Structures are given as structure tokens and as C-alpha cells.
Amino acid sequence: MPKQDNLYFRQRMKSTGIKKGVRYIVFFVILLALILCAGFIFVPHNYDPDSCDKDLTKNWLGEEDDSIDMIVLGDSECYTSLDPNRFEDQTGLSTFLCSSSGQRLVDAYLVLKEVLETQSPEYVMLESDMLYLEASGEGEIKKAAVAEAENLLPFFRYHGRWKYLTPDVLLGKTGTTDPLRGFRVYTDVLPYEGGEYMFETGEAREINPVNRYYLRKIRELCDENGIKLIMMSAPSPNNWTWDKHNGAALWAAENEVPFYDMNLASDEVGIDWQTDCLDGGDHINYYGACKTTNYMAERFNEEIL
């Protein structure tokens, strides 16, 4: 092939490659813009129990701006053990549980960031079961990365809401409030028969690095907003041990965070595992929650407020 033809061929191939590259870039920019727009449409902007996934912490959206005094974060141990209405009756603090099944510390951090866009609580309380959920290592990092990515691109988290997006939902006409403020009432009774479960030890269960990172992020977020951070542990024979208590207490002491472990105060709380247990040792039921709420309200009145 003559040199001039070879040069022309190379220049044409280069031009074609640049055009293809530009098309790909334009395509992905348009796709990203569509995903961002869809995310804004799909993400709940008010509390509608019919269109909000029950496992998502969106029921606080029904509250008026700057109306919540305390936010409580945690997994199912949280929303079965603290009754916000009962707590407010005894402390005067408007309280809301932003908890969900299997909530992790990365989830708690992202929920708190979102809540602080419209609320200015004086207190944030963490339920400590989140500190030790599942395994550490690559799996923990991957789950945290996915949660962060879904926070940036909410369409991937809320795409399943397409079937609820009626005109009334899109126009915000279906919003309501959650009268239980995140609390879930379970009156079933399945006793815990395992006997004593808190055996004293000097060992401290290590909090994995990912959870320590998000604990620090939550603490920093509270400090930036003038919020007092508190930690509590709900009674749970199936989930809590003394070495977990020691690990949580060590972090709390290092960060000057009050920590109330009701697993070590069962007599004072008054838990009866024959009547106050929901499912054989995992969660307490409504009758137990009345007692733990009373206990935490007393601690607040005497030591926090």
C-alpha cells in the first residue's frame, strides 16, 4: 500500500475511533442523567406506608421539620425495645426510631445524614447490636460500598417502587404520619429458657474496622451538629455476651459516650423471660419493651437531662 494511502487509512481509523469514543461518552452521560432523575422520582419524599418499603427507614418523613428531639438508630433489637410515645410521656423528648431489620452502621450513618437535612435533634441513641452484625473483612467492605453507592444513586435502591408511583404519590398527596414513630408492637410470647447468658469475662470483642469507621463518622456528624450521642443495649440472650459488652463499653469510654447495657441490669429493668420474650431469646415483646422504655426514661431523667 502506498505511503499516502496508508497515512490516510490511519488518520481515518483514528477519526472513527474518536467519534466512537465521543458517542460512548455521550451515551453514558445521558444514561447517568436519566438514572439521577429517576432516583429523584423514585425515592420517597414523604411517608406513605403503601408505597414505602416497610424495611426502609422512611416513616420519619411524616414528621414536621425540627420536631424531633431524639433519633434512635439500630436494627430489630431497637424497634422492639423502645416505645417513643411512652418515652416522651416520661421525659418530654419527642423521639423517633429510624431503625430497620438488619440495619448496619453504614446504614445508620446514611440515615442520620438524611434525617439531619430536615431535623435538628439534641440526642442520637445507638442500639449496640449493630456493632457486631455479621462478619468482618471483604464482605463487610463490599456491603458498605454498596450502601454508599446506593446512597449516591438511589434509583438502584428504590427502583421497585415503580408500581406505587401513581399521580397522587408523585404529587405528594398520600403522605401521612407514623403514630408509633418507628416502634413495632408484638404481643406474642415465646419464653427464653436458656438461663443466665451474661458470663463475666475480661475479654473484649473487637469491633471490626468497617464498623469502627462508621462509628467514628456518626460521632463526628453528631459533634458537627451539637448532638449528644448515647448508646444502649437491649436485652437479648441470643445476641449479646459479656465480651461484646466489654468491646462496646471500651469504645464508649474512649469516645465519652454514655452506655446503658440492659443485659447487665435485668433485675433493675425487671425483665421476666417467661412473659417478656417474643421469640425464645432474640427480641423482647411489647410487655418487655414497656419495662426497657421505663428504664431508659429513668436513666435519661436522672443522668442525661
Prediction pTM value: 0.76
How far apart, in Å, are the Cα atoms of 176 and each of 83, 97, 162?
20, 16, 20
Contact, 79 vs 103, CB < 8 A? no
Q: Is the pLDDT of residue 55 over 50?
A: no
Residue 206's contacts (CB-CB under 8 Å, 6 or more residues apart) are: 247
- When pLDDT is averaged across residues 6-22 and rounded to a whole number, the result is 59
Q: Is the pLDDT of residue 183 over 60?
A: yes
What pLDDT, on a 0 to 100 scale, did the predictor assign at position 60?
Answer: 75
Q: If DSSP codes are grouped into helix, strand and coil, which group holds residue 151?
A: helix
Q: Is the pLDDT of residue 74 over 90?
A: yes
Q: Is the pLDDT of residue 177 over 60?
A: yes
Using pLDDT thresholds of 50, 70 and 90, give the confidence band for residue 290: very high
Domains of the chain, by residue range, sit at 43-304
Grid coordinates of 106: 453504614
Strongest mean pLDDT among 140-144, 165-169, 189-193: 189-193
What pLDDT, on a 0 to 100 scale, did the predictor assign at position 125?
Answer: 96
What pLDDT, on a 0 to 100 scale, did the predictor assign at position 8?
Answer: 54
pLDDT in tens, 108-126: 998 899 899 889 999 999 9
pLDDT in tens, 79-102: 999 999 999 999 999 999 998 888
- When pLDDT is averaged across residues 163-192 and rounded to a whole number, the result is 74
- When pLDDT is averaged across residues 129-139 and rounded to a whole number, the result is 71
In this predicted model, which residue has the larger pLDDT, 129 or 34?
Answer: 129
Angle at 18 between CA 12 and CA 19, to 5 degrees: 90
Report the candidate in 100, 265, 272 with the shortest Cα–Cα distance to residue 182: 100
What pLDDT, on a 0 to 100 scale, did the predictor assign at position 102?
Answer: 84
Q: Which CATH architecture has domain 43-304?
A: 3-Layer(aba) Sandwich (3.40)
Amino acid in position 217: K
In what order do the strands lie in the sheet containing 228-233?
Answer: 95-97, 70-73, 123-127, 228-233, 259-261
Cα dihedral value 12, 16, 17, 23, nearest 10: 160
- What is the share, in percent, of the chain residues with pLDDT greater than 90? 54
What pLDDT, on a 0 to 100 scale, did the predictor assign at position 101?
Answer: 84
- When pLDDT is averaged across residues 170-182 and rounded to a whole number, the result is 69
